[in-house]
Amino acid sequence: MRKIYPIILLFIVTISLVACSNENEDSTVANDWESTHYDTINNFDGVSMNVKEGSVSPTGLTVIFENNSDKQGVYSDDFLVEKKIKGNWYQVPIIIDEYGFNDIGYELPPSENEEFTIDWDRLYGNLDTGEYRIVKKLLDFRDTGDFDEYNLAAQFTID
């Protein structure tokens, strides 16, 4: 019986250290990373963005835009990745100093669905395990200079 006590004690200490390590890592990240800028997301009536099942990897994913409205949507190549830490969203830091996106507009016609593949390796590298979301802008485009801008987000998990 005396041989079991040290093993149980070692097990408890190990579990405690791992839990504290993960908590400290999340606290450090939350203190160093910028909090989300998005108070309102997914408010474009009839339009949604979801992650395509089976497409998530540590370096990218595919989203599916669903336009179940009678409005013309337009989206571009730009995106942002955020991580959920202790119930709050934080922007994942970009690992390069200078970057840009192609300035192109992809049409999302009324009553249509579109797939869009995103590779974030050059901006974020490999994402660690955790709960994330991808954020993309989508325009309700009526005419040149006449549009409303919305932010769509889709959550995913890296295991």
pLDDT in tens, 86-106: 999 999 999 999 999 998 999
**pLDDT at res. 31:** 67
Q: Are both 66 and 114 inside the same structural domain?
A: yes
Split into its structural domains, the chain has a count of: 2
Determine the Cα angle at 50 with ends 72 and 149, to 5°: 40
pLDDT in tens, 8-42: 433 343 444 344 444 445 555 656 899 999 989 99
**pLDDT at res. 13:** 37
Q: Are both 6 and 53 inside the same structural domain?
A: no
Q: Are both 28 and 41 inside the same structural domain?
A: no
Q: Are both 49 and 123 inside the same structural domain?
A: yes
Q: Are both 81 and 103 inside the same structural domain?
A: yes
C-alpha to C-alpha distance for 66 and 47, rounded to whole angstroms: 6
**pLDDT at res. 113:** 97
Mean pLDDT for the chain? 86
Q: Are both 113 and 78 inside the same structural domain?
A: yes
Q: Are both 93 and 25 inside the same structural domain?
A: no
Question: What would the mean pLDDT of 62-73 be, rounded to a whole number?
Answer: 97
Q: What is the CATH number of the domain that holds 115?
A: 2.60.40
Domain of residue 106: give its range. 35-158
Q: Are both 55 and 111 inside the same structural domain?
A: yes
Question: What would the mean pLDDT of 1-5 be, rounded to a whole number?
Answer: 50
* Amino acid (one-letter) located at 76: S
Q: Are both 92 and 150 inside the same structural domain?
A: yes
Q: Are both 99 and 28 inside the same structural domain?
A: no
Question: What would the mean pLDDT of 135-156 be, rounded to a whole number?
Answer: 95
**pLDDT at res. 56:** 98
Q: How many CB atoms lie within 10 A of CB 118?
A: 17
Q: Does the pLDDT of residue 7 top 50, yes or no? A: no
Of the candidates 30, 122, 21, the one whose C-alpha atom is nearest the C-alpha of residue 84 is 30
Q: Are both 71 and 129 inside the same structural domain?
A: yes
**pLDDT at res. 15:** 41
C-alpha to C-alpha distance for 76 and 107, rounded to whole angstroms: 9
Helix (H, G, I), strand (E, B) or coil at 57: strand
Q: Are both 51 and 127 inside the same structural domain?
A: yes
